[in-house]
Structure 1
Amino acid sequence: MFGGGGGLNPRKMEQMMEQMGIDVEDIDAEEVIIRTEEYDLVFNNAEVTKMDARGQETYQVIGSPEEVEAGSVGGSDAAGSDAESSIPDDDVEIVAMRADVSEEEARTALEDNDGDLAAAVESLE
């Protein structure tokens, strides 16, 4: 497709991608973490490339990951944000209204009760 003889000149490839509307950017990443239910894949010193093809962003990660226990990396800030995102905002609003408390208090009660609305409301009354 691109001709023979051992590959395409990187400069030529860059020009072709630019003509097709594809922007390529190298990202200086220190660490990349991919979380699954069973484990986390941790890439240290990975090569990360971002490609933007007319608004559709694609990331390429090159490196050798270390497989670790799920949720064991990323620090306490990451764990906190994961817990918050797992509680739907609608549930927070319902608990806040029923128990007549702030949304922050409602979210904390839901987190403490594993997302159980009734138990969260009961714990706040």
Structure 2
Amino acid sequence: MFGGGGMNPRKMKQMMKQMGIDVDEIDAEEVIIRTADEELYFSDAQVTKMDAQGQETYQIVGEPQSRERGAGAGAAAEAEETAGSEAEVRDAAGGVDIPDSDVKIVAQRTGASESEAREALEAEDGDLAAAVSRLE
């Protein structure tokens, strides 16, 4: 942003504070960016919020995965576009498709079994953060 190069991070933070720029780390569980055609989702991203004179800016650092738009929001999803297309399972009521990767993420974050994680995801319509909260 400012081209700090090799500047000491502490000095950079001091300078930003003097300029009225407030920087906070956000403990995000998941970040989703929706475009007209796809969703980019970050399941383990580092998110920084900068507030400069009332203008908020968010910075996301991490590796996104791509899926068709609506695949994570409960729409009838087609196969994921990620590199090793993962198996998806439709719940008994014919509702949300839950990718195996989402089940594994929730299970790892909470220490729950994969079947408990899948049940929580189904109950929360595929919402990772809500499923994690439900199990914690």
Q: TM-score, normalised by structure 1?
A: 0.55
Moved over 6 A (4+): none
- 2:34 maps to what in 1? 35
**Superposed counterparts of 1:51-62, under 5 Å:** 51-62=50-61
Instruction: Report deviation, 1:37.
Output: 1.1
* Long gaps (5+) in structure 2: 76-136
**Superposed counterparts of 1:8-47, under 5 Å:** 8-47=7-46
Instruction: Report deviation, 1:49.
Output: 0.2
SS at match of 1:60: strand
State percent identity of aligned pairs: 64
Post-superposition Cα deviations, 1:81-102, rounded to whole Å, max 9, x if no partner, equal xxxxxxxxxxxxxxxxxxxxxx
The CA distance in 2 between the partners of 1:66 and 1:25, in whole Å, is: 25
Q: Flag the structure with higher helix content.
A: 1
Instruction: Report deviation, 1:73.
Output: 1.1
**Superposed counterparts of 1:1-125, under 5 Å:** 7-74=6-73
In 2, are the aligned partners of 1:2 and 1:8 still within 8 Å (CA)? no
SS at match of 1:13: helix
Post-superposition Cα deviations, 1:99-120, rounded to whole Å, max 9, x if no partner, equal xxxxxxxxxxxxxxxxxxxxxx
AA matched with 2:23: V
- Between structure 1 and structure 2, the one with the greater Rg is 1
AA matched with 2:20: G
AA matched with 1:14: K
The CA distance in 2 between the partners of 1:2 and 1:66, in whole Å, is: 29
Q: TM-score, normalised by structure 2?
A: 0.50
Post-superposition Cα deviations, 1:53-104, rounded to whole Å, max 9, x if no partner, equal 010000000001001010111458xxxxxxxxxxxxxxxxxxxxxxxxxxxx
* Long gaps (5+) in structure 1: 77-125
AA matched with 1:19: Q
The size of the alignment, in residue pairs, is 74
